[in-house]
């Protein structure tokens, strides 16, 4: 089973995260380290009462997070 980032769609391989479309029918969605950092940065920005630098809302960030963990 392949693990694919739900944000940038890269897939995890033995050597790292590669930007290619998963051919496998079975695929688990998660975050690659880069997108996870961006998602958590949005949440930290919210708690700091700052505008998320990406412009995304907290609700969107949390929805993406739940998708990644689910
Ligand atoms: Zn990603």
Distance 8 CA to ligand 1 centre (A): 4
Distance 68 CA to ligand 1 centre (A): 10
pLDDT at 36: 92
Q: In a 10 Å sphere around its CB, with 0-12 CB exposed, 13-18 middle and 19+ buried, how is residue 46 labelled?
A: middle
pTM for the model stands at: 0.50
Distance 48 CA to ligand 1 centre (A): 24
Closest to 34 measured CA to CA, from 2, 68, 65, 8: 8
Distance 44 CA to ligand 1 centre (A): 18
What's the pLDDT tens digit per position in 14-45? 899 988 765 655 568 888 999 999 999 988 88
Residue 49 has pLDDT above 60, yes or no: yes
């Amino acid at each position: 089973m392949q693990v694919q980032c739900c944000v940038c769609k890269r897939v995890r391989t033995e050597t790292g995260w590669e930007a290619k479309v998963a051919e496998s029918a079975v695929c688990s969605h998660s975050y690659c380290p880069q997108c996870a950092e961006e998602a958590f940065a949005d949440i930290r920005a919210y708690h700091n009462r700052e505008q998320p630098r990406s412009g995304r809302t907290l609700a969107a960030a949390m929805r993406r997070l739940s998708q990644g963990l689910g």
